[in-house]
Amino acid sequence: MSRAFQAPRGTLDWYGPRAALRRSVLDHARRVFESAGYGQVVTPTFEDTGVYRRTSGEGSDVVRKEMYSFQDRSGRDLTLRPEGTAGVMRAYLEHGLHRRPQPVKVWYEVPMFRYSSVQKGRYREHYQFGAEAVGSDDPGIDAELIALQARWYRNVDVTGLTLLLNSIGDDTCRPAYVDLLVAFLDEHIDELCEECRERRDTNPLRVFDCKNASCQAVLAAAPKITDHLCDACREHFAAVRAQLDARGVDYRVEPGLVRGLDYYTRTAWEWQWPALGAQSTLSGGGRYDGLAEQLGGPHTPGVGFGAGVERLVLTLEEMGAAEGVEPALDVMFAVLDDEARPRLHALMDEARAAGLRSDAAYGGRRLKRTLELASRRGAGRVVIVGEDEWGAGEATVRDMGSGEQRRVALDALVGELAP
């Protein structure tokens, strides 16, 4: 016998209570962001490879190591979506969304694909809920997105979160800072790991992402970007913090927080749940005022974030929040007389149309087994129709909580069941 197929490494199947928890998390996110004027955007699962190669930077880990790229039958170079922002900006430019009221606010809920090492909370296909606001450089938009995330996390009952906040400057002040950082790295090059040495040449800011304890000890003395911001970036960062302070959103300024993609400028942030361990970052966001130019468009400011759905679900499971999430049934139909089944299943459809979560015990189960099934499915009531009920044109309605039963005429059944 051949071996049964399994899901590819680094992917997940969603079903049962876990799928219900995932849906609940996303439903909360949609409600929070739509209350602030964000509407859904859906971009293609794959884009021209240049969209990511040009925006993420040739030296980024995404481009060098992680992208799923291929040629189609016409020889076009395409890449499965590794992140959401570049595709949203491409769509903004392509469809002339600058003609709409600015900023254009959108949210998305899509799969991302990155070939990376598989760990707890880190997958090669993973889903993100993200939001972007394109067309405004107002620091109030940065603060709004962060505050909306805070509300989302509160609404799904995540506690113990840490918000890290930083400014990584812009093209005016960051080049001079990078020169200072490279000079510092050169002074300590023998104390750094091989990956940090490589990043010194390709993307110096990324050395702050290193998890090596000895490297972290060295980098603790590195110059801090927050000490080298230009006046405009300093004022922008102060305005973001003032709006977060006014909203009561707690944060910690972390000068070592950087972004791994080239298009980020100014505000950068991460939400972390430290108890999750190595993959503690639930979401990352930032401003990307230079992205549009990299895609061949005019200067177009923007800001946004991406939040890993799997990690948030994992966090909630670690907190014990997955129990009882799967929706319970309102009514289970137990049709014990074969002749009655067509009529009762039609009435079940009417009950569903009336807003009752309803299902039937299929497969000719006995009443005892049906009641056990109804209990497992959390059904509040069971409609029982055997030979006696069918002959009388009635059904027995059993309350699963009290055990009380009453007979109801079939013509009045849905009305009796409806809330």
Residue 390 maps to a domain: yes
The boundaries of the domain holding residue 408 are: 331-417
Question: Does one domain contain both 297 and 398?
Answer: no
Report residue 356 as tokens: 């009752």
- Write the CATH number for 384: 3.40.50.800
Beta-bridged to residue 360, according to DSSP, are 333
Residue 189 maps to a domain: no
Question: Does one domain contain both 273 and 369?
Answer: no
- Domain end among 318, 346, 378: 318
Angle at 281 between CA 116 and CA 7, to 5 degrees: 40
Domain count of the fold of the chain: 2
Question: Does one domain contain both 24 and 135?
Answer: yes
pLDDT at 117: 83
Question: Does one domain contain both 87 and 153?
Answer: yes
Question: Does one domain contain both 258 and 355?
Answer: no
pLDDT at 58: 62
Question: Does one domain contain both 287 and 346?
Answer: no
Q: How far apart are CA 382 and CA 403, in angstroms?
A: 10
How many C-beta atoms surround the C-beta of residue 138 within 10 A?
Answer: 18
pLDDT at 216: 86
pLDDT at 141: 97
pLDDT at 340: 93
Residue 43 maps to a domain: yes
Residue 338 maps to a domain: yes
pLDDT at 322: 58
Residue 10 maps to a domain: no
Question: Does one domain contain both 314 and 336?
Answer: no
Residue 199 maps to a domain: no
Question: Does one domain contain both 312 and 337?
Answer: no
pLDDT at 64: 72
Question: Does one domain contain both 269 and 398?
Answer: no
- Domain end among 318, 347, 380: 318
Residue 388 maps to a domain: yes
pLDDT at 61: 67
- Domain end among 297, 318, 339: 318
Q: Are 332 and 344 in contact (CB under 8 A)?
A: no
Question: Does one domain contain both 87 and 40?
Answer: yes
Q: How far apart are CA 303 and CA 165, in angstroms?
A: 14
Q: How far apart are CA 415 and CA 419, in angstroms?
A: 8
pLDDT at 261: 65
Angle at 301 between CA 297 and CA 303, to 5 degrees: 125
pLDDT at 323: 56
**Average pLDDT along the chain, 419 residues, taken 10 residues at a time:** 84 89 94 97 95 75 81 95 95 96 97 88 92 97 98 93 94 90 88 86 83 85 90 96 97 86 86 77 92 93 95 89 70 93 95 94 84 90 94 94 93 90
Question: Does one domain contain both 291 and 352?
Answer: no
Residue 406 maps to a domain: yes
pLDDT at 277: 65
- Write the CATH number for 154: 3.30.930.10
Give every strand in the sheet of 265-272, ordered side by side. 39-40, 104-113, 125-134, 302-308, 281-287, 265-272, 162-167, 252-253
Q: How far apart are CA 114 and CA 292, in angstroms?
A: 23
Question: Does one domain contain both 164 and 277?
Answer: yes
